[in-house]
Amino acid sequence: MIPNFWRDEALLRAIGIEDAYLRRQFIAEVPDVPLAVYEEPLSVPAGWPDAPCGYLRFSAPYASEAQQAAALVWPVQTLEGGHLHMLANPAAVADALLGLAREMGAA
């Protein structure tokens, strides 16, 4: 098993989740998982994606994924933040996702 490695101080310092209750709740909900979860290859179904797609990048380590999305002619937006930016700044993430949805023609 890979233990949940998130700790309260790391969520505050490294990721910027200032709400102590939210940090505790997140830590409590992240399960320990077997290493096999990360080693299992994922297959991509034929015809995927079958709907409009976009990509919201939070940080530099995901630049290659953003480039792949752009090569597929998906709208790409960058919102500088950390891996869990949706917890650190949910309003900004929601706004960015709504912007992507508008770019993809969603009403």
The position carrying tokens 């949940």 is: 4
Confidence category of residue 107, pLDDT binned at 50, 70, 90: low
Closest CA to 92 of 106, 78, 76, 102: 78
Residue 17 clears pLDDT 90, i.e. is over it? no
Q: What is the mean pLDDT of residues 5-34?
A: 83
Instruction: Look up tokens 């989740």; give the residue.
Output: 17
Q: Which domain does 64 fall in, by range?
A: 51-107
Residue 2 near residue 35, CB atoms below 8 Å: yes
Tens digit of pLDDT for each residue in 51-80? 899 999 999 999 999 999 999 999 999 999
Task: Please give the model's pTM, rounded to 2 decimal places.
Answer: 0.79
User: What is the distance, to the nearest Å, from the Cα of residue 45 to the centroid of all Cα atoms in its chain?
Assistant: 21
Cβ atoms of 34 and 1 within 8 Å: the answer is yes
Clarify whether residues 2 and 33 are in a common domain. yes
31/67 same-domain check: no
Total number of domains in the chain: 2
- In the structure encoding, which two tokens stand for residue 30, read together? 């992240």
Tokens of 47: 């015809």
Same domain, 1 and 26: yes
Q: Which residue has the tokens 């505050």?
A: 12
One domain, residues 70 and 100: yes
Kindly report the number of other CB atoms within 10 A of residue 81's CB atom: 20
